[in-house]
Structure 1
Amino acid sequence: VTVTATGEELAERVLGQAVEGAQDEPEPQPDNVTMGFWYVSPRRGPYRTTRRISAGSWDEVRPNYTAPVADAMGRLMKVTPDDIAGRLLLLHGPPGTGKTSALRTLARSWRDWCQVD
């Protein structure tokens, strides 16, 4: 937390109020992955921040998909950096079809070599 104030005493008081009751982040879990989120800051312009999010393994979420989708996603989960030259994967479809869950699981499968935003 960063506080900017007109005086040190005010800054310390505001900082104390801001962090009152706050807790440290929990220890990383093996099923958590780092996900990047971009936004535009009025002061800094485009800005990326990260969060640790939970992600199921492919074996856990595979039953949620139809056979054709599960087969295609299964092949995608096994991709390595040597298998591809592209830098972008775009998932599209109606709401509630599993795009976000698939992306989380893919981020977990690829976490050793791929940055996911």
Structure 2
Amino acid sequence: MNTQSTTEQHVRAAAPWGNLAISEQLSLPYLGDTQFAALVLERGIAHTAEAHWPTSARSLDAVLPHALTTARSQRVESALLDVEPLFGERCLALVSLRGGTASVRVAAPELVALPEIEGWLRDCFPPAEASADRLVPISFWSYGSCGATTISRTIAVPTWEEIRDNYPHALRERLAPLVDPSFRPAEGGRLVLWHGPPGTGKTYALRALAWEWRARCDLHYVVDPEVLFGERADYLLEVVLDDGDGDDERWRLLVLEDTGELLAADAKEQTGQG
């Protein structure tokens, strides 16, 4: 069977709020998404939630004993879980692993069960954290046929102390407040314009910043900033408002490279949209 083939699937289910229909163009590795939605409607489950986070887990082994169905492709593994024995009647979960990111959807008849199920899944798929050997998780955003998606990778980074002497004194003085442990962004966020010719160490310095901020900040890299600032308003909202880790205390650093013309006052004219 070609797992990349698609099929038109229609699901109708009776629920307390009436008859609803699901109609999707499906790729078989993502069949669990529609199965999850169909069961939520069929069983009249009132409450759902979703979350995603970078994870150090690389397999679904921890939850396979609870799997109703599984799906695998070269890039994605997913499992639809019956967690009723753990959390009560009609509780469901869908978990997917893709590129170092755990994405979960949970459903329960009682609202209080949702954070309990998510907490259990976070224990099964531990969030990735910066390690002592200076490996930092980074989330990479892109926009495709299914909308905004994110995958996570762990990359090696230097400390600022190791590389600071590679930069001119004046630049080191400008960067010192950013890498200082007492730094806090302004209320509502802060824009940092980092510019210079290619090969001057901008990306390397950003990697060092990721290490210095590791205890309080998650790094997100937008692969296609021209789409983010283009016609896809849903993409911009998804990236800016994303709260996948659920931790209100941590910051999010959004990195957009080569975006000078996209931030200019005449950006639309420069990019041919004016």
Which structure's residues are more often strand, by fraction? 2
CA-atom RMSD, angstroms? 2.9
User: Is 2:67 the counterpart of 1:67?
Assistant: no
Of residues 93, 105, 110 in structure 1, which corresponds to 2:213? 110
Residue pairs, 1:29-108, within 5 angstroms: 29-30=131-132, 31-42=134-145, 44-78=146-180, 80=182, 82=184, 84-85=186-187, 86-108=189-211
Which structure's residues are more often helix, by fraction? 1
1:4 matched to which residue of 2? 3
- Aligned partners of 1:32 and 1:55 also within 8 Å: yes
Q: 1:5 to 1:84 in 2, by over 3 A?
A: closer
Q: 1:65 to 1:82 in 2, by over 3 A?
A: closer
**What is the one-letter code of the residue matched to 2:194?**
L
- Aligned partners of 1:81 and 1:113 also within 8 Å: no
In structure 2, runs of 5+ residues without a counterpart are 6-28, 30-71, 75-99, 101-129, 221-274
SS at match of 1:115: strand
Flag the structure with more relative contact order, 1 or 2, with Cα contacts below 8 A and sequence separation at least 6. 1
What is the TM-score of this pair, normalised by structure 1? 0.68
User: Counterparts of 2:150 and 2:160 in 1: how far apart (Å)?
Assistant: 27
Identity of aligned residues (%): 35
User: Counterparts of 1:47 and 1:88 in 2: how far apart (Å)?
Assistant: 23
User: Counterparts of 1:48 and 1:87 in 2: how far apart (Å)?
Assistant: 23
Q: 1:77 to 1:29 in 2, by over 3 A?
A: same
| Count of residue correspondences | 99
In structure 1, runs of 5+ residues without a counterpart are 19-24
**What is the one-letter code of the residue matched to 1:32?**
L
SS at match of 1:105: helix
